[in-house]
């Protein structure tokens, strides 16, 4: 049976020198709730063998074939920082560094990192949640957009129409003169 410790998400973020925002903590808890493995002191499908780990469950990933059980919290923290930093999950790292992993616009790359990590179930959840968050309306931006649209109609459009009439008239005059010229 899997076991973790109180405050593990904050410990993981601090160990990797990431912001301990509520969004980051929620992200890690969501990940833990959808992990594939059921290994001791392994809340998010860690596969890194820190030397103080035992093979717990197969991952199905050739590069990292086993989820690990860790004897102590410190071993899991070491494995987390090693897997996270050394193995290289750049999009995942950037999303957590942002402080709001669900709010980034490169969520497809983060999803790919989560799949490479060995957390396909959470990758799918993350993708759908982030995709729906990307479509949410920001009222401040919406208001600015409306103001820009009003300016376009009230200022830009009359100017453009006046310029178009001028160019059209000039073109007609040139055509009229061209008919009078014999070659």
Distances in whole angstroms, Cα of residue 28 to Cα of each of 10, 44, 70, 161:
9, 8, 18, 55
Provide the number of structural domains found in the chain.
2
DSSP letters spanning 33-97: HT-S---TT-TT------SSEEEEEE-S-SSS-EEEEESSHHHHHHHHHIIIIITT-HHHHHHHH
Q: Does 55 share its domain with 99? A: yes
- pLDDT reported for residue 14: 93
pTM of the entire predicted model? 0.69
Shared domain for 80 and 17, answered yes or no, is yes
Q: Is residue 28 part of a domain?
A: yes
Same domain, 36 and 98: yes
Within a domain: 1: no
Q: Are residues 81 and 103 in the same domain?
A: yes
Does the residue 75 lie in any domain? yes
Domain of 57, in residue numbers: 8-134
Q: Are residues 144 and 59 in the same domain?
A: no
Shared-domain flag, residues 26 and 105 = yes
Distance from C-alpha of 118 to C-alpha of 20, rounded to nearest angstrom: 24
Residues 14 and 68 reside in one and the same domain: yes
Reading the chain (183 residues) residue by residue, the pLDDT tens digits are 456 778 999 999 999 999 999 999 999 999 999 988 888 888 888 888 878 899 998 888 777 788 898 888 888 888 888 887 777 789 999 999 999 999 998 999 999 999 888 888 899 999 988 877 655 555 555 556 667 777 777 777 777 788 788 888 888 888 777 766 555
Judge if 46 and 121 occupy the same domain.
yes
The answer to whether residues 48 and 89 belong to one domain is yes
The reply to whether 38 and 121 lie within a common domain is yes
Which tens digits make up the pLDDT trace of 58-68?
Answer: 888 777 788 89
- Decide if 3 is inside a domain: no
């Amino acid at each position: 049976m899997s076991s973790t410790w109180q405050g593990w998400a904050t410990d993981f973020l601090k160990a990797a020198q990431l912001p301990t925002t509520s969004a980051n903590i929620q992200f890690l808890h969501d990940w833990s709730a959808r992990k594939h493995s059921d290994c001791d002191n392994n809340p998010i499908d860690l596969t890194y063998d820190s030397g103080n780990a035992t093979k717990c469950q197969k991952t199905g990933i050739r590069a990292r074939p086993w989820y690990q059980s860790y004897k102590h919290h410190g071993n899991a923290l070491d494995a987390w920082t090693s897997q996270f930093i050394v193995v290289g999950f750049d999009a995942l790292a950037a999303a957590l560094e942002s402080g709001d992993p669900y709010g980034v616009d490169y969520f497809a790359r983060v999803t790919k990192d989560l799949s490479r990590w060995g957390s396909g179930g959470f990758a799918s959840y993350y993708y759908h949640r982030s995709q729906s968050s990307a479509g949410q309306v920001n009222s401040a931006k919406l208001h600015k957009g409306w103001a820009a649209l009003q300016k376009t109609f009230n200022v830009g459009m009359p100017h453009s129409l006046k310029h178009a009439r001028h160019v059209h008239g000039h073109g007609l005059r040139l055509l009229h003169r061209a008919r009078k010229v014999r070659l």
